[in-house]
Amino acid sequence: MKKTALITGATSGIGRATAEEFAKHGINLVLCGRRQERLESIEKALSKQTDVHILNFDVRDRDKTLGAIASLPKEFQNIDILINNAGNAHGLDPIETGSLDDWDAMMDINVKGLLYVSKAVIPGMTERRSGHIINIGSSAGKEVYPKGNVYCGSKHAVLAITEGMRIDLNPYGIKVGAVNPGLVETEFSEVRFKGDAAADNIYKGYKALQAEDVAEVIYFAVSRPAHVNIADVLMFCTAQASSTIVKKN
Ligand code: NDP
Ligand code: 8X3
């Protein structure tokens, strides 16, 4: 029987590439994001390969998040796979000058948004005693780099929450894992630097991970046999050795 996956942050980058990868393998899709036009164009493209339903909500809005997922039509209600991917960095500033709005955005989206979506999806999984949750963390969830403070904190929280979920959902046979990439060339830096020219230089002089590289690893994780759970993956591009060491030409 075909599985159904709900992917947050499916309008761009890693989420979009994961939707494309899953569609290739015939997984039904619930695609989430805030940019309606993009949701519609991705739906149109991927509907040729699989069944797609789109949901437009901001993961910061608790009621809208719970309401949107509760509104799913019957054929999309049983979520087998949850990819908690929506998130971004906002700003790159030392702690003494960082912006409260940026801090709110990162904690509200990367941490609380992930929890709201999980709260909406997990009851169906526990009831069916099956499911698979993959949280998209980051290398920033494993090490802290200069000016990374709150973003790194949010991703360390994602990792801790992932481990907590794995422990608590273990009795139900639900798999939980994290995929933690280093630098991936997406709209991430455009968002972090708010469209500033600094974003243009981030991926210059080396070959960063591409969203498709991460999507392939996510698909690998969800396509293992029933007894195998990929609990935690740290992946870098070859040029990157740590958050602060990147070999540029
Ligand atoms: P993108 O900016 O390309 O994509 C981010 C996605 O998140 C978009 O689809 C966006 O959709 C969605 N999103 C952002 N804010 C909200 C919100 N408030 N409510 C709902 N959806 C939201 O970045 P990436 O693909 O790179 O990032 C995806 C994940 O990967 C993030 O969790 C990020 O932290 C993580 N990551 C990224 C790395 C990188 O270097 N790029 C490395 C390690 C981890 P929309 O705007 O339509 O709502
Ligand atoms: C994104 C990677 O190094 O910009 O999580 O924090 S990094």
Residue 190, Cβ neighbours under 10 Å: how many? 15
Structure tokens at 44: 């149109």
Indicate whether residue 35 lines ligand 1 (CB < 6 A): yes
pLDDT for the residue numbered 225: 98
Domains of the chain with CATH codes: 4-235 (3.40.50.720)
Report the distance separating Cα 148 and Cα 153, nearest Å.
8
Q: Is 151 a catalytic residue?
A: yes
pLDDT of residue 178: 99
Tokens at 229, concatenated: 């759970």
Identify which of 158, 183, 206 to mutate to test ligand 2's pocket (most ligand atoms within 8 A of the CB).
183
With H, G, I as helix, E, B as strand and everything else as coil, classify residue 216.
helix
- Asked if 8 contacts 59 with a C-beta cutoff of 8 angstroms, the reply is yes
pLDDT of 83: 99
34 within 8 A of 12, measured Cβ to Cβ:
no
CA of 35 to the centre of ligand 1 (A): 12
Both structure tokens of 134? 């993959």
Work out the average pLDDT over 53-68.
Answer: 98
In this predicted structure, the answer to whether residue 198 has a pLDDT above a threshold of 90 is no
Q: Is the CB of 138 under 6 A from ligand 2?
A: yes
How far is the centre of ligand 2, averaged over its atoms, from the C-alpha of 74 (Å)?
37
Task: Tell whether the model's pLDDT for residue 134 goes beyond 90.
Answer: yes
- Is residue 213 scored above 90 in pLDDT? yes
> pLDDT tens digits for 151-190?
999 999 999 999 999 999 999 999 999 999 999 999 999 9
Alpha-carbon Rg for the chain in angstroms = 17
User: Could you tell me the pLDDT band of residue 143, with boundaries at 50, 70 and 90?
Assistant: very high
Residue 199 above 90 pLDDT? no
CA distances from 196 to 103, 189, 200, 202 (A): 19, 9, 8, 11
Q: CB neighbours (10 Å) of residue 172?
A: 14
pLDDT of 197 higher than 90 = no
**Range of weakest confidence among 36-50, 102-116, 187-201, 228-242:** 187-201
Residue with tokens 């280093």: 182
Mean residue pLDDT across the chain: 98
Residue 1 scores a pLDDT above 90: no
Q: Is the ipTM of this complex over 0.85?
A: yes
Which residue is closest in CA terms to ligand 2's atom 4? 183
Ligand 2 atom with the shortest distance to the CA of 182: 2
Across 67-79, average pLDDT: 98
Bridge-partner residues for 246, per DSSP? 240
pLDDT level of residue 200 (50, 70, 90 thresholds): confident
